[in-house]
Structure 1
């Protein structure tokens, strides 16, 4: 995942119109200083008549070539090596162009590529010697020897390259900071999106666990009213009452789920979720809907069972009863609890095949066991389900801390 930089985020490689303007202005200013220094050095006596061609060259051609070199700076980002080479060649015939060539050479050095810097640097030294020896030679016989003048040019060029190289290092550092900030921002957005997805999945699991049980009861009674037109009035009223009570209970459970999912500022749930302490109420609701349920005798003492394990076990039993009512109507469902502290809590829900093979199956989303398996895995337990002969068995083992 990538992110675009913010509007107020300053990237080190991005130039504004002002950045370009002051660079061109600085190049012209440096060129003017070099031109004045050259004029004073080559023609020290104001009363002396300068040579015709050198005077015309210094006054007319030199500034014109300097303006051309300054204009080339506008393209140095697109063709850095070519522009640095062109401005360097122009410095061999124009002192005003030396200002633009200084900016171009420093800009080339910011790229930190020695295979580009060294040839242009050598060409700069050669162009400086050509200008000083051929175009504007110093009058008199006390001028520096060639090797000394070359050494001075090498030192000046080395300083320019060092400054440009340090600017390039700083830009690379700032660029890495910007990339790290963008990466951190992208990762933060990814974590937020992942948290939102996880929260949606949690809500979906809670809604399924809570509402599937109630809605299956409503579906069963409404189906009974649809297909049994010969029901006695008292049974019809009982079915309508069951539909009404389960619909109201579904709304109540829905409010409870939403209350649990909404947490206060301290992070504690607003309402407790159902645990195995509410198992008798769950079994009574199932029996009132017409499903025969038997709870195994000799169950363990659940007072020391951790709340999270108890809540997961309650959801397992609720899902098992819902699936049994959907896929094996009129069959007897057996719920068995076993285990002890320091070991595991074993929850088993078993039922034979449906005794009423003509009944239409209750539609389902097909994700109940998948969500239940995920819930059990997150709790550190194991889940197994399938047919063993003519009996379907859903078994879950959950850790029971001592």
Structure 2
């Protein structure tokens, strides 16, 4: 951005500035006429006609001072020495070019004005006027210096205001970028929660529906149990989805719905067992981890049970929790290969983002995740998460 460009003026701003220049010039013009009359020197046609015409020309030239600043200011500085009424136009031109804060331009204009003023003293010959050269140089130099100082101050103020405005606009852009980043992070978090919630429930429902469709030798009671499990699982999936979507519709200050914790893992295992999953749960935890670690452990168990229900329905699943405060928490979910009589013709739908999102969640908690097939054609998911004593974990 060019810091020398002055703000654009409206026509009414131009008009009142020119009117102010005329008002400033009237006083020295009338003073000159009074002094000449007191000393018995006739004002003549120049004071009535020539002086106002020169002032009019200077005021007209000021209309182009922003397009041709140096040329206009030089013209006004030289011409104004022949007109007392043009004093206001001179001061306005000097202030205007000084706002650009270019020493070379200012120096050229001031020298031209001081030099031209020495040749214009004969237009109004006043008796007993100062005859020494340094006095004749000092007065125009002082006049130009005052105008230049005022213009420099105005220019500095414009630069400061423009700098503050640029900084404010930059701060607004940064704030908008931070808000967009926060919205993206929140969308990612909500999407991850939706995946964790729905993938688990829908996988259990799909597993029960697959058993109901594949096995024709079930008793009426077993069919009722499976149908009831499908209905309950679908209802719970809708309820949990409604809770997650409620965050999108709520105000930023509203409290979030309660998040799953470490204490909810046994209920999660019981739910999986009720849906037909053969789960063996072993825990050797020496305490209850913090909210962040517990929530991450819950999501790991949920994703492990979801994948077992998807890819190995009917296979036994071994869930192990180990950990000590101040050390690490180890979560392992191991499932064997699914029995043949539980396999259906169509594979369950897979999003492909479950382990990817879980890896991101575990990484945010400062842990590590590993998953791989086992020799018995099963699969194992292992996660290690730091368990600090004082609960300084990152939110996952």
CA displacement, residues 355-387 of structure 1 (integer Å, 9 cap, x when unaligned)? 557743322332222222222222222222234
Assess, with a 3 A threshold, how the Cα gap between structure 1 residues 364 and 117 changes in structure 2: closer, same or farther: farther
What is the CA-CA distance between 1:251 and the residue it aligns to? 2.4
Residue of structure 2 in register with 1:185 after alignment? 172
Asked if residue 291 in structure 1 is aligned to residue 286 in structure 2, the reply is no
CA displacement, residues 160-198 of structure 1 (integer Å, 9 cap, x when unaligned)? 111111122222223333333333333333333333322
What is the RMSD computed on CA atoms of the aligned residues?
A: 3.1
Q: What does 1:19-98 correspond to in 2, within 5 Å?
A: 19-42=13-36, 44-45=38-39, 55-98=44-87
**TM-score, length-scaled by structure 2:** 0.83
Counterpart of 1:195 in 2: which secondary structure? helix
Pick from 379, 389, 395 the counterpart of residue 365 of structure 2.
379
Residue of structure 2 in register with 1:335 after alignment? 319
Q: Residues 201 and 234 of structure 2 are in contact (CA less than 8 Å); yes or no, is this contact kept in structure 1?
A: yes
Pick from 328, 346, 365 the counterpart of residue 330 of structure 2.
346
Counterpart of 2:379 in 1: which secondary structure? strand
Assess, with a 3 A threshold, how the Cα gap between structure 1 residues 353 and 128 changes in structure 2: closer, same or farther: farther
Pick from 149, 155, 159 the counterpart of residue 168 of structure 1.
155
The 10-residue stretch of structure 1 (335-344 or 216-225) with the greater mean CA deviation from structure 2: 216-225
Assess, with a 3 A threshold, how the Cα gap between structure 1 residues 122 and 365 changes in structure 2: closer, same or farther: farther
Unaligned runs of 5+ in 2: 1-5, 390-396
How many corresponding residue pairs? 380
Counterpart of 1:77 in 2: which secondary structure? coil
CA displacement, residues 258-288 of structure 1 (integer Å, 9 cap, x when unaligned)? 678899999765x532223222322233233
Assess, with a 3 A threshold, how the Cα gap between structure 1 residues 127 and 361 changes in structure 2: closer, same or farther: farther
Pick from 304, 312, 324 the counterpart of residue 296 of structure 2.
312
Residue of structure 2 in register with 1:4 after alignment? none
What is the CA-CA distance between 1:101 and the residue it aligns to? 1.8
Counterpart of 2:259 in 1: which secondary structure? coil
Give the whole-Å Cα distance in 2 for the aligned partners of 1:292 and 1:170.
78
CA displacement, residues 310-329 of structure 1 (integer Å, 9 cap, x when unaligned)? 22101111011112322334
Give the whole-Å Cα distance in 1 for the aligned partners of 2:235 and 2:209.
15
**TM-score, length-scaled by structure 1:** 0.82
Pick from 191, 213, 219 the counterpart of residue 206 of structure 2.
219
Counterpart of 1:383 in 2: which secondary structure? strand
Asked if residue 280 in structure 1 is aligned to residue 273 in structure 2, the reply is no
Asked if residue 243 in structure 1 is aligned to residue 230 in structure 2, the reply is yes
Give the whole-Å Cα distance in 1 for the aligned partners of 2:9 and 2:388.
64
